[in-house]
Structure 1
Amino acid sequence: MSWGAFAAVFVAFFLTHSIPVRPAVKARLTDRVGPRGFGWGYSALSLAMLTLLIWSAGQAPHLLLWPQAPWQRHVVQAGMLVVCLILAFTIARPNPFSFGGARNEQFDPAQPGIIRWTRHPVLLALALWAGLHLLPNGDLAHLLLFGVLGGFAVVGRALIDRRKRRALGVTRWQALFAAKQRAPLLQPPGSWGMSLARLLLGLASYLVLLWAHPVIIGVPAL
């Protein structure tokens, strides 16, 4: 794959991520397939484009910038467990401050869970994923891949903050933020059963990633 083709996949990745969530486009799509259909469709499209982008980085011209060391793989293996747990305790739970939430009207700032630590846990997971994978992938194509995606995750927090303030109203957003900041950093979960289920889901997702990595990416994770 040439550098031009790799750049084209990059452009397609960002277009498919940005256009569907523009307010006018999202409203039309939601009217046709419903909020749940939009959420599942957008998630499937995002995952497919991310897989294509990662594959494309592996097919781009190889220009080595630093060699791989065994300790780098160990750091990635440990860090990806954290990423999986963050996502497991984030997806499909109320979060009016960011995307990836569900039933946001049911958000309880007195029991914010992981939202007490970060308003954007999905973006945090993306930034960690990108930063971790920079370590053992020292070629130019992967530096561009993980560097850009990690930067997108960091910059995206401010963009989503502005969008959510506008959608909720500044007064409502600030009230929710102040209320969740008053919650303890560590507190017992609202449901031990649900927390255990999410913990098991995170561990299972991690094991699936270890198994699927050589199948999808072509490189063993262990």
Structure 2
Amino acid sequence: MMGWIGFGAAFAAFFLSHRIPLRPPVRARLVAALGQRGFTLGYSVLSMAVLAWLIAAAATAPYVALWPRAAWQNWVPLVAMGAACVLVCLAAGRPNPLSFGGANNDGFDPDHPGILRWTRHPLLVAAALWAGAHLVPNGDLAHVILFGVFAFFALAGMRIVDRRTRREMGPERWQALCQRIASTSMLPRPASWTGAALRWGMAILLYAALLWLHPVVLGVSPLP
């Protein structure tokens, strides 16, 4: 019973830590006190700490099997996480006025949308891939709740962010920007081939680091 209580407490802390600091009055005070970079750094550290607690709490919750484990299941997150790493590295730190996580959005060039040609929300797609793929080899109740909730909110978040940005930009401007991006080539030419190569290299390094850290941090090898 205590394991489920701890799991529930970690979930509550996770949602509160993502809800309270982002409320406009609270965020404004924190940004005023810490600066924008300080707020972003602090929020990131808090989010990662609470996420680590939640994952640890899921591992210590009572084991209730929902489907059996099979060796092939490990291949699902191995493949999906490769795609997730590419999405993260192609999107992180780049302008993206249509979703969260963008940097220097005023400099966004819709004629060179990059990964946005395929999805407006690359970071949310990466989160959905991470969560959905990890459902397959983790068929116990606690992990199904954990990854299922994350997958649901990542997918639902795309519609929520679309509504918010559409409201903030105005429906006509939002629609025009989306249509302009959609009119570019399905294989968009990068604004900088050197920058694109660096980001693909970062994706490979990130994937290798996750493979190495998985058994070190979580005590479970991701390999079949």
**What is the TM-score with the length of structure 1 in the denominator?**
0.95
Alignment of 1:56-205 (within 5 A): 56-205=57-206
Cα deviation per residue 1:160-203 (whole Å; 9 max; x = unaligned)?
A: 11222233233332222222122111122110111111111111
Query: Cα deviation per residue 1:71-102 (whole Å; 9 max; x = unaligned)?
Result: 11122112111111110001110001111110
Between the aligned partners of 1:172 and 1:23, the Cα distance in structure 2 is: 24
What's 1:36 paired with? 37
SS at structure 2 position matched to 1:89: helix
What percent of counterpart residues are identical? 51
- Which 4+ runs in 1 deviate beyond 6 A? none
**2:3–2:57 Cα contact (<8 Å) kept:** no
Taking the aligned partners of 1:112 and 1:134, their CA distance within structure 2 comes to: 31
Post-superposition offset of 1:114: 0.6
Which segment is superposed worse, 162-171 or 123-132? 162-171
Q: Number of residues paired by the alignment?
A: 222
- Aligned partners of 2:191 and 2:160: how far apart in 1? 30
* C-alpha separation in 2, matches of 1:29 and 1:167: 22
5+ residue gaps, structure 1, are: none
Residues 84-142 of structure 1 deviation map (CA, whole Å, 9 limit, x = unaligned):
11100011100011111100111111111111111111110111111110010010000
How many angstroms apart in 2 are the aligned matches of 1:37 and 1:183? 37
2: CA distance, partners of 1:90 / 1:101? 8
Displacement after TM superposition at 1:204 (Å): 0.6
Unaligned 5+ residue runs, structure 2?
none
Counterpart Cα distance in 2 of 1:127 and 1:201: 20
* Contact map agreement 2:113 2:188 (CA 8 A) in 1: no
